Structure 1
Amino acid sequence: MLRLTRLRLTRYRSYAAAELRFGAPMVVFTGPNGAGKTNLLEAISLLGPGRGLRGARISEVAAGATPPWSVSGHFDDGLGGFEIGTGSLEEGSAERRAFRLDGEKIRTQADLAERVAAVWITPQMDRLFQESAGGRRRFLDRLAMALEPHLAREVTAYEAAMAGRNRLLSKGRAEAAWLAGLEDAMARHGIAIAASRRALVARLNAAMEGGAAGAFPAAILALQCPAAALLAEMPALAAEDALRASWAAARARDAAAGATLGGPHRADLLFTHAAKAMPAGLCSTGEQKALLISTVLAHAGLIAAARGFAPLLLLDEVAAHLDEERRAALFDALAALPAQSFLTGTDAGVFTPVADQAEHWRITPGGAHPAPLSLGA
């Protein structure tokens, strides 16, 4: 099991300075709204690649909006451990941050994905099934990158090539050869992205059909993506050719729109409640939450089997919104997974069923204090 054993914060959001040490596979943060519980989960999420569970601008996380700030974590991986640190740069853009692994600079965030992964559920994700495809696509890619860290490079390269294509099209007189070169890069990276997404969806469906969701309702996932559809019909190289041809034919349309209107960046992830054969968007709020939990639990099991360690699970205000039966099912599932989980809530009493296996921290504005769960709030 990959475990975070120490978390240090300096000038990070509501924390001027804090150090928390963890020894249990389940960690619970409780306290009133606004005390800083989610700030701790976000800090942990920033120890991996990406912009964290809030997707915040880097300049927003500094205490008092005044850098510098830093977050560091020590991880026990059974092989001697390692430390990851991140924070604002002393000089340069306020929107860039530095990374260090055991004190040495890390060139790219993709290098972090090789060492640690985190998956989260937040209250904002309750809107996942009603909002646009973008949120569901980002959710899918976070899961896919945790399984295949190289996907982060593919996504970055695809987006860079697409941005270049859009710029050339906006000028109105782009050289066809330049556009063809960018479209070639988009096709190569785009098919790689679609293949990873398609493989993950198939593996998640198989895992949930096999009972990985435990007592939670299984979801049936479907990837709605023209690039993935091509892969279902032809080899990867032929699919790349088809994508290139589609973008070449759409240059005039995309130039008029000011954007590339087709491709893997337009994909969507569809959820269906398996037992009810009902689209998730038509399910109750409780059922939607349960489907999201079942997907994350199945994913954690896949990562553990494929990579030798499970992702850190960051569950913000999840248990409080489940009925007693599903709450018990969640605790049982977390205890069975080879994963470290961090949960937040306003009521410590919600977590008394796991008092013998979880560490509890009472969170107050700017501070964190260990406290027995049996003492309640």
Structure 2
Amino acid sequence: MIATRLSLRDFRSYSAADVRLGPGLTVVSGRNGAGKTNLLEAIYFACTGRSCRTANEREVVRFGAELTRLELACEDALGRHEISVGFKPGDAKRLKADGAPVDNLVGVSARPLVSVFLPDRLELVLGAPALRRSHLDQVVAALWPARAGTRRAYSAALAQRNALLASIRAGRASKASLPAWDAELARHGIALMADRDATVERLRPRFAEHAAGLGLEGEVELRYRPRSKAADAAGLVAELAERVESDLERGFTGHGPHRDDLAFRREGRELRAYGSRGQQRLGLLSLLLAEREELAAERGSAPLLLLDDVMSELDATRRERLTSLLRRDGQAVITTTELEHVPGSDADDVEKIFIEGGRALQGVEA
């Protein structure tokens, strides 16, 4: 699925914009603060129905405007498609796929999968384990859509077990009901752990290869860190039973896949604690590139990759390697302050957008 055109009104700094996106590489250039990142966010918003930059989505509506609207034209082997997103703060979003209203865009086949690199996304490396778990589960769902329900089923069982723990603690229920919910939680938990482990094992070699190619020196490793050591549901049930008293004391389930983590390691040490900011950025970029290739191998097409200001910390050799990767397979949009920072950006098959004065101009700077 290829995104071919984005039209928007009243999104961030733009009153209106209508831009073409190339089937391969699109380069968005302009000075700092011109609105390049805003355009990437708009593409992501149109693909997913949510922001990649803020939890307070009121911020995406241009100051002084009441609502924002985005339309994304796409193409695949079956023909042309259109995704539209309308958002007015305080109201439900209006999402449509090929003219039909939808509740969300996650399961819509008429839109491209999308992955984004923003400086703010370093929280995936630096932040709480919950961020990494959520990201890993999104990759699982993208690789194998039929398995997306495993995480939801586990979360529902966890909520039920926690509610029961609270009731037991308050004297409104007995421990006799716990084994049934332990078994339910363990059944979904083991499946969730298996999906996560399989995904990380697929990503590990590609992650290491991209990290080395982009200049992250030393032995680099992506590692899944499950909280449980159980090999099957019975083992996880036993672990939960051993911790019942401590769970009752704290009032919630303290053990299981909801406490897992994903580690970025270099020379045996975690990038989160011991890596420089540049090394952490390269680790994140390597992960996204590895995911892109795995998704292309599994699903037959690579996701749309949005890259904000990645060239500034790469030398000429690494810039050349990254650009070659981006142009080799799939669709990508990359921002830069200088076109010459993106090798090959003057080629005829590279779409160019120049941002100036709150406007997105197709082509290069005059």
C-alpha distance in 1, partners of 2:94/2:35?
Answer: 24
Distance 1:350 1:150, change over 3 A: same
Query: Of the candidates 337, 351, 354, which is equivalent to residue 346 of structure 1?
Result: 337
Residues 113, 145 of structure 1: 8 Å contact kept? no
Indicate the residue corresponding to 1:143 in structure 2: 139
Partner of 1:133: 129
Aligned residues: 358
**In structure 1, how many angstroms separate the alpha carbons of the residues matched to 2:240 and 2:351?**
53
Deviation at 1:358, TM superposition (A): 2.1
State how far apart, in whole Å, the 2-side matches of 1:123 and 1:214 are: 20
- Contact residue 4 and residue 74 of structure 1 kept, 8 A: yes
* Aligned-partner Cα distance in 2 for 1:252–1:30: 59
Residue of structure 2 equivalent to 1:57:
56
Counterpart of 2:193 in structure 1: which amino acid?
A
For the 8 Å contact 2:81–2:110, the answer to whether it is kept is no
What is the one-letter code of the residue matched to 1:355? D
Equivalent residue in structure 2 for 1:101, among 97, 103, 109: 97
**Partner residue of 1:292?**
284
Q: Is the 8 A contact 2:207 2:222 kept in 1?
A: no
Aligned to 2:194: 195
SS at match of 2:63: helix
1:311 aligns with 2:309: no
Name the amino acid aligned to 1:271.
F
TM-score of the pair, normalised by structure 1: 0.82
Deviation for aligned residue 1:34 = 3.1
Worse-superposed segment, 50-59 or 7-16: 50-59
Aligned partners of 1:219 and 1:294 also within 8 Å: no
Change (3 A) 1:175 1:344: farther
User: Are 2:24 and 1:25 aligned?
Assistant: yes
Name 1:224's counterpart in structure 2.
225
Matched ranges for 1:4-15 at <5 A: 4-15=3-14
Structure 1 segment 255-266 matched on structure 2, within 5 A: 255-266=248-259
Once the two structures are overlaid, the 10-residue window that deviates more, 314-323 or 279-288, is 279-288
Whole-angstrom CA distance in 2 between matches of 1:176 and 1:109? 41
Tell whether the 8 Å contact from 2:166 to 2:251 is kept in structure 1 after alignment.
Answer: yes
Cα distance change, pair 256–212 in 1 and its aligned pair in 2 (3 A): same
What's the CA shift for 1:67? Answer: 4.7
Which residue of structure 2 lines up, in the alignment, with residue 243 of structure 1? 236
Q: Which amino acid aligns with 1:372?
A: V
Opposite residue 311 of structure 1, the aligned amino acid is P
Q: 1:164 to 1:33 in 2, by over 3 A?
A: farther
* Structure 1: distance between partners of 2:294 and 2:132: 19
Answer whether contact 1:48 1:112 (CA < 8 A) is retained: no
What CA distance in whole angstroms lies between the structure 2 residues aligned with 1:184 and 1:36?
51
What is the alpha-carbon distance in structure 2 between the residues aligned to residue 78 and residue 85 of structure 1?
Answer: 20
RMSD: 3.1
Whether contact under 8 Å (1:221, 1:271) holds in the other structure is yes
Deviation at 1:24, TM superposition (A): 3.9
Q: Distance in 2 between matches of 1:58 and 1:244?
A: 41
Structure 1: runs of 5+ lacking an equivalent: none
Q: Which amino acid aligns with 2:196?
A: R
Query: Whole-Å Cα distance in 2 between the matches of residues 100 and 341 of structure 1?
Result: 24
Q: What SS class does the counterpart of residue 81 from structure 1 fall into?
A: strand
| Counterpart position of 2:120 | 124
Structure 2: 5+ residue stretches without partners? none
Q: Which residue does the alignment assign to 1:372? A: 364
User: Percent identity of the aligned residues?
Assistant: 34
Superimposed CA distance per residue, residues 300-355 of structure 1 (whole angstroms, 9 cap, x where no aligned partner): 1111111011011111111112122211111111122x211111123333225322
TM norm structure 2: 0.84
SS at match of 1:226: coil
Distance 2:36 2:356 in 1: 9
Q: 1:252, 1:138 → 2: CA distance?
A: 28
Task: Provide closer, same or farther for how the CA distance between residues 367 and 270 of structure 1 changes in structure 2, counting only shifts above 3 A.
Answer: same
Offset at residue 79 of structure 1 (A): 2.0
